Amino acid sequence: MDVSEEYIKEYILSHSDPEPDLLKKLRRDAHLHLLRPRMIAGHLQGRLLKMFARMICPTRILEIGTYTGYSAICLAEGLPEEGHLYTIEIDDEMEDFIRKYLDQSEQKEKISLHIGDALDIIPTFKDNFFDLVFIDADKRKYWEYFETVFPKVRPGGFIFVDNTLWNGKVLAENQNRDPQTKGILEFNDKLANDDRVEKVMLPIRDGLTLIRKK
């Protein structure tokens, strides 16, 4: 019996925690008013990020690439009472949209939004500061983000990296790959040979790589 991928997805979602009403509203708003709404983490990945945060119990999370604030809210949902999330967005035109939903979130006191270039902002944090980092920003700079943030992650801490399958483009045999695909390929290949970490790539949505700093 052949079962469609879409049917499997619907079955998974119907047997997982529901998407919170605020995040449904955010997602609809993004599809109506933003050019690339597909960049939002979405229901399944959002619930997964919350669950991972619950399991890790981080005190401090860093998110590189806020976009709409969807994944920031999901990660903050999983924070312990004393936890805090710092999220960085380079596009200042997104600030009003982001704050609109962060301000409505029950987690708003746990989230600090920074507008600017992550490569400038990350060095302002002290070493071994973060328990968990989520990278979902400019794919061309993935390895640069990783190396910049690595000293800021405590030993035993985690780094999650989104879009590491990139719609299957990482497997396409094309010498003229676009810069974003090249950036992800560079990241994936370098990470595969990095003995400072443990790592596993999951085929969830567009690929999610989980990394643990030794």
pLDDT in tens, 113-153: 999 999 999 999 999 999 999 999 999 999 999 999 999 99
Query: Has residue 1 got a pLDDT over 80?
Result: no
Q: E strands of the chain, at which residues?
A: 60-64, 84-89, 111-115, 130-135, 153-162, 197-202, 208-213
Quote the tokens at residue 202: 């999951």
pLDDT for residue 175: 60
Rounded to the nearest integer, the mean pLDDT of the chain is 94
Domains and CATH numbers, the chain: 5-213 (3.40.50.150)
